[in-house]
Amino acid sequence: MPFLPTPRRAPALPEFIALMAMMSAMVAFSIDAMLPALPAIAAELTPTAPNRAQLVVGAFLLALGLGTLVIGPLSDRFGRRPVLTGGLAVYLLGAAAAANSQSLTGLLAARILQGLGCAAPRVIAMAIARDLYAGRKMARIMSFISIVFALVPALAPSVGALITAAYGWRAIYLAFMLFTLAVGGWFLLRQPETLPPEARRPFRPARLWLALREIFAHATTRLSIAVMALASGMLFATLTSVQPIFDVAYGQAARFPLYFGAIAIFATSAGFINARLVERLGMRRMVRSILAVQVGLSAGMIAVTLWLPVGPLSFGLFVVWTFSLFFQAGMTMGNLNALALEAMGHIAGLASSVVSAVATIGALLVAVPLGLAFDGTPRPLAMGVLGMAALGFWLTGRIKRPVSAGPDPAASAPRPRFEQGHGQ
């Protein structure tokens, strides 16, 4: 890509973490900033079926999952930088189309374009991290990334609410475009290519099929993907339902951005705690422990909806339970990603794609029905989360530590000359 400047030195670790976090945060910003605008979208585009406005989130996530299936193989073939550039261009096209959509169908089509484009920064951030780190070290780096990442969902609902109130919901998509241009420019100016030409894999269906068989034949990777789908399903179901619950169940729509932001800010503590403990306790134990806690908390939330009248106490308990779900994501997602990719360093891009795609699509299979099952109370959501947490707890217990890990296959692959810039 001769028309783009190519940095020769890697950014320092703090800047690297911030950059990868902002790339990953494009997904959160594209979802969370829309949540306060759902009533306005419903009133304008689907007034007779307001629940259908939730599909603005679901369409984006579905396309995000599908896009990750091809982004990883493409980045393994052509490199991380050019594929990211193409993905950002598709995202910008979708944002522009969404800002000018005149029907819910048109808006959903534009959101599909956004989701496909947003798969690039999501997958490539993970692939770059795996290019440079592995195992518990990667899990620790992902914890730090999640800390910075959490600032975006903390602020996004307030930004979306302010923009909607001042300029209408369509202006949110202009904010998406500005954010994308800023992050994309930062990446292209500061982050070198982490996959040198001699380490790239040809884009051949036969090799892709062998790689897919390898990924799903590895028990740790396969089980980690299943648990990640359940953990993502809990988070996605909460994202699609939380604004209607605040509004209809508790009459707190006006304060939703403030509560949501506070929940996200306090949930950043999960990243600090996980980064401090994961190298000592291990990824499997951390995931299983937090899922066990979630089983108890969700059972308690169901009891609240059955026997406690709606009021300040029940609302406060719901806020605490919602916080636990975001805290859980910070304690599980980085660890599960690291577990799934632990033995896949030699095909990091493709493995990142498959892990993200299968987890996202699997999560949507449970999250969308839970969102549409909203009955004016948090009960359907709490029941769904309880079932997913219990199943995830059981599956995590089946993930066994390898008897002999052996050398990382990635260790024999050519490594970038600037890798030492990240302290390795």
Mean pLDDT of 353-381: 85
Does residue 422 carry a pLDDT above 70? no
For residue range 163-178, list pLDDT tens digits in order.
999 999 999 999 999 9
Whether 39 maps to a domain, the answer reads yes
Share of the chain above pLDDT 70, in %: 90
User: Residue 299: its pLDDT value, please?
Assistant: 97
Longest dimension (CA), the chain: 66
- pLDDT bucket at 278, cuts 50 / 70 / 90: confident
User: Residue 209: its pLDDT value, please?
Assistant: 78
- pLDDT bucket at 416, cuts 50 / 70 / 90: very low
Q: What is the separation of C-alpha 74 from the centre of its chain, rounded to a whole number of angstroms? A: 20
For residue range 55-108, list pLDDT tens digits in order.
898 899 899 988 888 888 888 888 899 999 999 999 999 999 999 999 999 999
Structure tokens at 384: 């769904």
- pLDDT bucket at 313, cuts 50 / 70 / 90: very high
User: What does pLDDT average to over the chain?
Assistant: 85
- pLDDT bucket at 131, cuts 50 / 70 / 90: confident
Contacts of residue 167, defined as CB under 8 A and 6 or more positions apart, other chains included, come to none
Does residue 408 carry a pLDDT above 50? no
**Domain count of the fold of the chain:** 1
Whether 2 maps to a domain, the answer reads no
CB atoms within 10 A of CB 307: 8
User: Residue 348: its pLDDT value, please?
Assistant: 66
Does residue 8 carry a pLDDT above 50? yes
User: Residue 307: its pLDDT value, please?
Assistant: 93
- pLDDT bucket at 3, cuts 50 / 70 / 90: low
Whether 218 maps to a domain, the answer reads yes
- Interatomic CA distance for residues 239 and 33, integer angstroms: 11
Whether 349 maps to a domain, the answer reads yes
Whether 242 maps to a domain, the answer reads yes
Does residue 417 carry a pLDDT above 50? no
Does residue 1 carry a pLDDT above 70? no
User: Residue 403: its pLDDT value, please?
Assistant: 43
* Helical axes 151-167 vs 13-32, angle rounded to 10°: 40
- Interatomic CA distance for residues 340 and 69, integer angstroms: 15
User: Residue 374: its pLDDT value, please?
Assistant: 84
* CATH (domain of 160): 1.20.1250.20
Mean pLDDT of 366-393: 91
Whether 142 maps to a domain, the answer reads yes
Q: What torsion, rounded to 10 degrees, do the Cα atoms 351, 231, 180, 241 define? A: 150
Beta carbons of 119 and 68 less than 8 angstroms apart? yes
Contacts of residue 210, defined as CB under 8 A and 6 or more positions apart, other chains included, come to none
Whether 409 maps to a domain, the answer reads no
Three-class secondary structure assignment of the chain: CCCCCCCCCCCCHHHHHHHHHHHHHHHHHHHHCCHHHHHHHHHHHCCCCHHHHHHHHHHHHHHHHHHHHHHHHHHHHHCHHHHHHHHHHHHHHHHHHHHCCCCHHHHHHHHHHHHHHHHHHHHHHHHHHHHHCCHHHHHHHHHHHHHHHCHHHHHHHHHHHHHHHHHCCCHHHHHHHHHHHHHHHHHHHHCCCCCCHHHCCCCCHHHHHHHHHHHHHCHHHHHHHHHHHHHHHHHHHHHHHHHHHHHHHCCCCCCHHHHHHHHHHHHCHHHHHHHHHHHHHCHHHHHHHHHHHHHHHHHHHHHHHHHCCCCHHHHHHHHHHHHHHHHHHHHHHHHHHHHHHCCCHHHHHHHHHHHHHHHHHHHHHHHHHHHHCCCCCCHHHHHHHHHHHHHHHHHHHCCCCCCCCCCCHHHHCCCCCCHHHHCC
User: Residue 135: its pLDDT value, please?
Assistant: 67
Whether 368 maps to a domain, the answer reads yes
For residue range 192-236, list pLDDT tens digits in order.
888 888 878 777 777 667 777 888 888 888 999 999 999 999 998
- Residue 195's domain spans which residues? 13-400
User: Residue 261: its pLDDT value, please?
Assistant: 86
- pLDDT bucket at 150, cuts 50 / 70 / 90: low
User: Residue 274: its pLDDT value, please?
Assistant: 83
